Amino acid sequence: MKRVLVTGGAGFIGGHLAHGLVRDGHAVTVLDSLATGKRENVPEAAVFVEGDVRERDTVEAVFSAARFDAVCHVAGQASISRSFASPEDDLDTNVLGTLNAIRSCLVHQVPRLVYASSMTAYGQPSVVPTPESAACLPVSYYGVTKLAGERYVQITGDRPDVSLDVTSLRMFNVYGARQSVDNPYQGVLAIFIGNLLRGEPITIHGDGEQTRDFVHVDDVVEAWLRVLERPESHGRVLNVGSGRETSVNDLALGVLATFGESPESWEVRRTEAQLGDQRRSAADTRALSALGWSPSVSFADGLARTVEWARATHGARSAETGVPRD
């Protein structure tokens, strides 16, 4: 059994990770500001501390109250559009918050840190699926801050004067149950599902041929759990994705079909491309696969399960609330 701190453990990914850790018998503490997370996402068996990773004293108090064997630093501002609207907040949360976690790990001699990085670090890669060795040239402020946090983590792990084993996981487009369907800044798949549930048109930015690599949250949790236990992951940056490209146009068709709709029966609007939008995205996962991990949830199955959860949780629309195509 390990004593593990999960920052951002009331959020979508962090909450699932906290549940996975508890399931495997670990003692879990969750630190979350509840700015976007939900208290109900935290396992009952976990210790919950409401607090912001941007506040150094708050983070230090959590580390002072308990001794941890590992820290999973998931907390972060995760919206590309919000990073452009408020780059200072993005910087504070994703960089300063990460530095606070690193500093407390060093002060309290925590031996293990795993960091939630992002595929946005790659920007517009020349090779797809993209390996970890590809150049990182982010095209959004969010990508810049996630890459900066990653570099702080990795450089700290390389320091000869400290004993902190680190790993950064570049996660691609994570989806699944408990992802917010009413947050317009969180995940295109969840946004589309929310549109259908509320009887709203779907909006596609740009030509819709931009691609994403959708990886189910259950597979992501298994990647985190495996990395925590594998010394071979120490000091490394690893992709976590499905390795498959799905265009936004095909995503919209898939969501519509799962609801029994089509572009002929449902209004699909098109508007200008968004700032910082990546054209193509898919993970080369061979490095993580060498550690014994591979994604097990197909996109078709994962989409069906996610829609089923959303309907059960938020209520299916009635036929009369549909938005017909003009």
Q: Which CATH number covers residue 39? A: 3.40.50.720
Q: 237: closest CA among 308, 149, 105, 161?
A: 149
Residues 137 and 261 both lie in one domain: no
Residue 184: its pLDDT value, please? 78
284: in domain: no
pTM of the model: 0.95
Residue 193: its pLDDT value, please? 97
- Which portions of the chain are predicted below pLDDT 50? 318-321, 326
8 A C-beta contact, residue 237 and residue 288: no
20: in domain: yes
Residues 179 and 168 both lie in one domain: no
The CA distances from residue 305 to 14, 92, 170, 217, 300, in Å, are 19, 35, 24, 11, 9
Q: In whole angstroms, give the CA distance from residue 250 to residue 300.
A: 12
Q: In whole angstroms, give the CA distance from residue 122 to residue 131.
A: 10
Q: In whole angstroms, give the CA distance from residue 231 to residue 224.
A: 13
Q: In whole angstroms, give the CA distance from residue 254 to residue 303.
A: 8
326: in domain: no
Residues 205 and 89 both lie in one domain: no
Residues forming beta bridges with residue 30, ordered by sequence position: 6, 48
167: in domain: yes
Residues 56 and 185 both lie in one domain: no
**C-alpha angle with apex 197: 262 to 178, nearest 5 degrees?**
120
Q: In whole angstroms, give the CA distance from residue 48 to residue 105.
A: 19
Residue 186: its pLDDT value, please? 79
Residue with tokens 């002060």: 107
8 A C-beta contact, residue 260 and residue 253: no
Residue 318: its pLDDT value, please? 37
8 A C-beta contact, residue 17 and residue 224: yes
Residues 272 and 189 both lie in one domain: yes
140: in domain: yes
Residues 58 and 193 both lie in one domain: no
Domains held by the chain: number: 2
Residues 68 and 163 both lie in one domain: yes
Residue 108: its pLDDT value, please? 98
Q: And the tokens for 3? A: 């004593």
Residue 55: its pLDDT value, please? 98
8 A C-beta contact, residue 50 and residue 32: yes
Q: Round the CA-based radius of gyration of the chain to a whole number and report it.
A: 19
Chain centroid to Cα 177, Å, comes to 13
Whole domain around residue 140: which residue ranges?
3-172+217-240
Residues 165 and 263 both lie in one domain: no
HEC letters along 235-280: CEEEEECCCCCEEHHHHHHHHHHHCCCCCCCCCEEEECCCCCCCCC
Residue 25 three-state SS: coil
77: in domain: yes
Residue with tokens 């951002």: 8
Residue 326 three-state SS: coil
Residues 127 and 185 both lie in one domain: no
Residues 201 and 226 both lie in one domain: no
Q: In whole angstroms, give the CA distance from residue 157 to residue 77.
A: 23
Catalytic residue set = 142
286: in domain: no
In this structure, what is the dihedral angle of CA atoms 147, 148, 153, 156, given to the nearest 10 degrees? 140
Residue with tokens 């309907």: 311
Residues 194 and 136 both lie in one domain: no
